Each structure stands twice: as C-alpha cells, then as structure tokens.
Amino acid sequence: MSNSPVEFANVDFFYTGNDPELGAQPEGGLKAAEDVTQVFSELSLELPDGVMSLVGQNGSGKSTLLLLAGARLFPARGTVTLLGSDTRMFVGAVEDPELEQRRNELVSFVYQNMEFETHDSIGDLMEFVYENGFHGDRSPSFLGELQRTLELDGVLEKRTQQLSKGQLQRAIIAFSMLYGSRIIMMDEPVFALEEYQKHRAFELLTDFAARTGTSVYYSVHELELTRKYSQYMALFYSSDTVCIGPTEELYSRENIEEAYQVPMDMLHRKEGLYREALLKLSKQKP
Ligand SMILES: Nc1ncnc2c1ncn2[C@@H]1O[C@H](COP(=O)(O)OP(=O)(O)OP(=O)(O)O)[C@@H](O)[C@H]1O
Ligand SMILES: [Mg+2]
C-alpha cells in the first residue's frame, strides 16, 4: 500500500445538467448526451502527503478534483481512496451527521465563495470549532495567534453575515486550522485578500501543515503563491493530463506556458482579471 493520502484509480467523472448533485450519482445513470460534461476519464493519480497547489487553466478540473478527493463528489466509475477508504462510503454524509463527522475528521473543505449565516459571533465560533474539532492537544495561544495574524481581532464580535468578503475568507481559513481534519481542501481560498494578507495566510497554513502533519491541497490562480507556498504542485495541462511533482521541479516557465497556452507575462494580467471576476461573482450572490 502506498503512503499517499488520496488515490484516484481509473476515475471517470461527468456533470449532468447544471446541477453538480446530479453528476454525483455513484453509479450515475446517463441522461441525454447533451446534458453531460465529461471532466475526467480514466484518471489515475496519487496526491502526496504535504502541501500541494492545483494550477491550470479555467475549466481544467481543479475544483472537481478537490471535490472528488474530499468526498464531496463521487466518481461515476473507478475509485477514489481517501486514507484507505473508498470515498463512496461517505455518499450518505449529506443526511447523516454521524457519517458527516467521520468524513470531516479525515477531510474538511473550504469551498470557493463560501457563504453562510450564523447566530454566534466569530470569536465564539472560533472557540467552539477549536474545542469541538479534532485536535488531540490544543494550545491556548493558537487562537490568539490566528486572530492576530489573520487580522480578525476587530471582528470577533461580528457574525459571518456582517463580514466583508476578505474578512470572511480570513475567518474561514482560521476555522479550517482550528477544526483539525487530517486533510484540508481549499478551493481559491484567498482571492479576496490583500496581497500581503495572502502571503501571511499561506505562511500560517504551511507552518501549520508542517507542525501538525496535516495535508493541505489548494487551488490558486496566482503562480507566485504556488511557487512560494507549496511543496508539490498538480499542473493541469488538461483534465486528462494532470502532472504532479515537487514544485521545485515542475515550476518552470516552459511547463507553465505549455499548461496555460499563454506566455508567462500575459498570465500575470490574466490572474488579475480572474480575481476581479471572482470578486464580482461573490458580490452578485444574494
Ligand atoms: N456544476 C457543474 N455543472 C456542469 N458542468 C460543470 C459544473 N461545474 C463544473 N463544470 C464543468 O466541468 C469542467 C471542470 O470544471 P472545474 O470547475 O472543475 O474547473 P476549474 O479548473 O476549477 O476551473 P476554474 O479555474 O475556473 O475554477 C468545466 O468544463 C466546467 O465547465
Ligand atoms: Mg475552480
């Protein structure tokens, strides 16, 4: 058996219609052909233990891969093995709190554009998550460290629905570390942050991962963050060609230009445009 926390073996995955839940049927009955978007076909790979970023063009399958690896979506064919278990055992987690808890102990998920309303304040939630999460030993100074570094001191009395997009993203990053799952999946977790805050957040995350032995897999559109804050990268040339390796080896102008089909200098401009698009989208949400 390998040491990889998540393994894909011959995975096929497709979305049907516009509803991701429909594509999530384990033995998915196909509807009319025009309703189907095939994303992965016979995909086999192993995610390494440690911190890995997922990088590649829009629509290449980064979010879908994270959702499959995190047992939030399930393959139509083939198997995703999460810490030794077929993820299909978690198909019922949406309506079974005990099963959901078991899944979350293995893997938590920070969705792109996560929004939720809470009755409790951010400060109370942080304490609650830390006390009721999965950390074996807790350090009293950790909460304060997260609040300071992620600049949450000023919003501890507020509720999630009263936060700006950036404040909410920083709170969610804090929750993900306080929760203490063995693996954390993060889909575009910092797009709404200021540049310096992105670096702080990733410094914190990578230190945390190394100290606690947590694996962190994240998608990100800024290559500079990938270069600085990942041990491994998954470079999506297309959804059928995903290359995983040490960032030191894979991160080169040649590889990146081939994956994105765009010269490196233009990519930086594209990164900015993508961030603006995400922000606009998150503001349009009710
Ligand atoms: N809910 C959905 N229903 C139908 N098709 C979808 C759905 N979500 C994604 N897709 C399609 O699946 C493919 C992979 O999408 P995915 O969101 O995984 O890509 P991505 O690499 O995360 O893109 P981005 O960089 O824009 O976040 C794309 O062709 C996309 O259009
Ligand atoms: Mg995505």
Give 125-173 pLDDT, tens digit per residue.
Answer: 999 999 999 998 899 899 999 999 999 999 999 999 999 999 999 999 9
CATH number (domain holding residue 274): 3.40.50.300
CA 238 to chain centre: 19
pLDDT at position 124, please?
A: 97
Is residue 39 in contact with ligand 1, taking CB distance under 6 Å? yes
| Domain ranges, residue 183 | 6-284
Measured by CA distance, the residue closest to atom 25 of ligand 1 is 58
Number of domains in the chain: 1
pLDDT tens per residue, range 205-239: 999 999 999 999 999 989 999 999 999 999 999 98
In a domain, 175, yes or no: yes
User: What is the value of pTM for the model shown?
Assistant: 0.91
pLDDT at position 57, please?
A: 92
In a domain, 206, yes or no: yes
pLDDT at position 34, please?
A: 63
pLDDT at position 273, please?
A: 76
pLDDT at position 18, please?
A: 57
Q: How much of the chain is in helix, strand and coil states, percent to nearest 5?
A: 45, 20, 30
CA 238 – CA 56 distance, rounded (Å): 8
Ligand 2: centre distance to CA 34 (Å): 22
Q: Starting from the edge strand earliest in sequence, which strands make up the sheet with 183-187, in order?
A: 107-110, 183-187, 215-219, 51-56, 232-238, 241-246
In a domain, 59, yes or no: yes
In a domain, 205, yes or no: yes
In a domain, 1, yes or no: no
Is residue 230 in contact with ligand 1, taking CB distance under 6 Å? no
Ligand 1: centre distance to CA 258 (Å): 20
In a domain, 15, yes or no: yes
List C-alpha distances in Å: 240 to 10, 61, 97, 113, 259.
11, 9, 34, 26, 12
The residues of the chain scoring below 70 in pLDDT are 1-2, 18-34, 283-286
